Amino acid sequence: IKKIAVFTSGGDAPGMNACIRAVVRTALHFGCEVAGIKQGYQGMIDNNITEMSRHSVSNIMQLGGTILKTARCLDFRTPEGMQKAYDNLKLNGIDALVAIGGDGTFTGAERFSGIYNIPVICVPGTIDNDLYGSDFTLGFDTATNTVIEAIDKIRDTAESHDRLFFIEVMGRDAGCIALRAGIASGAEAIMMPEKDTAIIDLIKTLEEGAAQKKSSSIVIVAEGDKNGGAFNVAKKVKETFDFYDTKVTILGHLQRGGSPSSFDRILGCRMGFAAVKALLRGETRKMVGLRSNEIKLTDLKEALTDHEFKLEEDLLEMATILA
């Protein structure tokens, strides 16, 4: 391998910059040239590709977002788009890829690498923590900390006004952020897609809280929850349970920003380093993951198989008892 290109694709996540830096510096260390592709697959198609040096990744570790920018690219799903992308890689002398992103990124990488026989290693970068083969994805820890900080602040005002807050958090089809943030902020209830909570059961929980003289309550609603988001849940609850003054907060994209936590910085470094070493060993179409604190590779096909998200029953039971 003479030249490795790195790119970020899909939703940005804190820790991506640490990973880009690790890819660039590891590849240079082992004698490869490195290119950065801007805006993920879109940049591959548009030939938005730039040479990377040690210096081009200086002072980026602490930055949220991704210096390479990112995009969700529909053109790459077409044969014409892929062909253009491949032609541009050849034009730039690129013979291997490190792709940082979520399952959409991996699906594209798997197909592309299969068709054009170009080695690719993927790094799980998404706040959702929804990828099989890694205990943690890049950005999840920071996003969860950001959510907790926001909920703590909402708790102050909820308590002062004796209010019930429904707080919607991101996570797409996964409730990982909701569950962890709910535990760490002492939320009274957590609604998430892995567990169907009926509104009637939620009301029972809130009634018990009111009977115990809880003056405020926080309900975390994962965006993927089957009851249809925080506004819907709040509306349905209010129809029969009107004990509290009720408010809704959608935390939205602030969850994706901010300086990465130490965990995400170190994870980004470890994954970027491991991704380049894997390419140089001749590995391809694999995802780098962290399992039991060890870096492990998983076949992209396996990572992309529709694994059912396992509800962490023990955590949920604990959250219910401790709230």
Residue closer to ligand F6P by CB (options 92, 134) is 134
Q: Does 179 bind ligand F6P (CB under 6 A)?
A: no
Strand partners, 51: 35
Q: How many helices (H) and strands (E) does the chain have?
A: 11, 11
Binding residue (CB under 6 A) for ligand F6P from 81, 171, 182, 209: 171
Site string for ligand F6P, 206-245 (x = CB under 6 A): -----------------x----------------------
Distance CA 152, CA 188 (A): 13
Instruction: Provide the minimum distance between the beta carbon of 70 and ligand F6P in the complex, in angstroms, as a whole number.
Output: 10
Residue closer to ligand F6P by CB (options 223, 264) is 223
Binding residue (CB under 6 A) for ligand F6P from 21, 25, 69, 172: 172
Distance CA 186, CA 209 (A): 13
Q: Is 214 annotated as a binding residue?
A: yes
Instruction: Provide the minimum distance between the beta carbon of 5 and ligand F6P in the complex, in angstroms, as a whole number.
Output: 23
Among the candidate windows 52-60, 80-88, 170-178, 227-235, which touches ligand F6P by CB under 6 A? 170-178
Sort strands 189-191 and 286-291 into parallel, antiparallel or unpaired. unpaired
Q: Is 170 annotated as a binding residue?
A: yes
Q: Does 11 bind ligand F6P (CB under 6 A)?
A: yes
Q: Is 126 annotated as a binding residue?
A: yes
Active-site residue, selected from the candidate residues 12, 128, 141, 264: 128
Token representation of residue 171: 């996570």
Number of C-beta neighbours around residue 109 at 10 A: 27
Q: Does 150 bind ligand F6P (CB under 6 A)?
A: no
Distances (CA, A) of 313 to 123, 169, 178, 316: 28, 20, 14, 5
Instruction: Provide the minimum distance between the beta carbon of 154 and ligand F6P in the complex, in angstroms, as a whole number.
Output: 19
* Residues from 31 through 70 that contact ligand F6P (CB under 6 A): none
Among the candidate windows 16-24, 84-92, 167-175, 296-304, which touches ligand F6P by CB under 6 A? 167-175
Distance CA 112, CA 248 (A): 43
- Three-state SS for 176? helix
The yes-or-no answer on residue 128 being catalytic is yes
Instruction: Provide the minimum distance between the beta carbon of 170 and ligand F6P in the complex, in angstroms, as a whole number.
Output: 3
Binding residue (CB under 6 A) for ligand F6P from 15, 43, 102, 182: 102
Cβ-proximal residues to 185 (8 Å cutoff; 6+ apart), any chain:
147, 148, 151, 152, 155, 218, 220
Residue closer to ligand F6P by CB (options 7, 241) is 7
Helices assigned H by DSSP within 168-245: 176-184, 199-211, 229-240
Which of 294, 299, 300 is CA-nearest to residue 267?
294
Q: Is 163 annotated as a binding residue?
A: yes
Q: Are 119 and 284 in contact (CB under 8 A)?
A: yes
Q: Are 323 and 186 in contact (CB under 8 A)?
A: yes
Residue closer to ligand F6P by CB (options 171, 272) is 171
Number of C-beta neighbours around residue 281 at 10 A: 9
3-state secondary structure 68-104: CCCCCCCHHHCHHHHHHHHHHHHHCCCCEEEEEECHH
- Can you say which residues are annotated as belonging to the binding site for ATP? 11, 72-73, 102-105
Give the annotated binding-site residues for ADP: 21-25, 155, 186-188, 214-216
Q: Which residues bind ligand F6P (CB under 6 A)?
A: 11, 72, 102, 126-128, 170-172, 223, 256
Residues catalogued as catalytic: 128
Binding residue numbers: 11, 21-25, 72-73, 102-105, 126-128, 155, 163, 170-172, 186-188, 214-216, 223, 247, 253-256
